[in-house]
Amino acid sequence: MSISKEVPWPKIVTDSGEIPMKRRYAFRDMSYLDTLEARPIFETQADIIIKNDFKGIVDVGCRHGPINDFLHDKNYKEYEYYGFDTSPEPIELAQKRWPNYQYEVRDWESLKDVNFKVDCIIFSGVLLYEKDHFKMFTDIMKFYNCSNAVIQEPYHNQKYYEERLKLKSITNDMQQYSFWEEHIVEAEIFCGRRLVAHAKLL
């Protein structure tokens, strides 16, 4: 598989070396997530959802809702979905592309209820930005009265494009979670490995 050479993410340079969270971003700023190199990550997420027949999905940090592309490509269409993100541009795109699903600009600290039973919550690269990631996870899971989650985060054992680049990770604290399934996806676009896991709240 060829690797995109114009992907902006591995070239980010900060004073601390850490990747900052951007609450408002242009859609193109995250376009590396829609390349072929990132596809195995979302394929794995979709496979977990389909395997467990989750019918009510909340997507935290959903961007433009790419998980729906993968689910529909696999002919999995009978489900309800609500996604939220802090940035308006990807949400506007999502609302145009997927008018039958609910999308909203919202922060996780001001959660909104949904009109369907939530079977699964997707956390795609959001837990690592919270100092107490397990509290964030628990608060959202309890708010939606849901016990199943699909988590996608950097793995603590990475291959770095730049030594100065520090990738935050939750994987050294995974003992706080009850993992039913764990997948390590090789994804060069994310400097090597990515964790995709089906986690269950105890």
Q: Backbone dihedral region of 40: left (phi > 0), alpha (psi from -120 to 50 degrees) or beta?
A: alpha
Least Cα distance to 196 among 149, 140, 128, 129 occurs for 149
Q: Report the pLDDT value the prediction gives residue 201, as an integer from 0 to 100.
A: 82
Who's near 58: CB < 8 A, 6+ residues apart? 81, 82, 83, 114, 118, 120, 121, 122, 140, 144, 146
Who's near 38: CB < 8 A, 6+ residues apart? 32, 187, 189, 190
Q: Alpha-carbon distance 150 to 124, whole Å?
A: 8
CA 178 to chain centre: 18
- Structure confidence by residue, pLDDT tens digits, 86-107: 989 889 999 999 999 999 999 8
Q: Report the pLDDT value the prediction gives residue 38, as an integer from 0 to 100.
A: 76
Residue 148 has pLDDT above 60, yes or no: yes
Q: Report the pLDDT value the prediction gives residue 159, as an integer from 0 to 100.
A: 62
What is the topology classification, in CATH, of domain 9-107+115-200? Answer: Rossmann fold (3.40.50)
Question: With pLDDT > 70 as the criterion, what percentage of the chain qualifies?
Answer: 75
Assess contact for 71 and 48: CB atoms under 8 A.
no
pTM, two decimal places: 0.82
Q: Alpha-carbon distance 145 to 9, whole Å?
A: 35
Q: Chain-wide mean pLDDT for the chain? A: 82
- Structure confidence by residue, pLDDT tens digits, 37-60: 778 889 999 999 999 999 999 999
Q: Report the pLDDT value the prediction gives residue 119, as an integer from 0 to 100.
A: 97
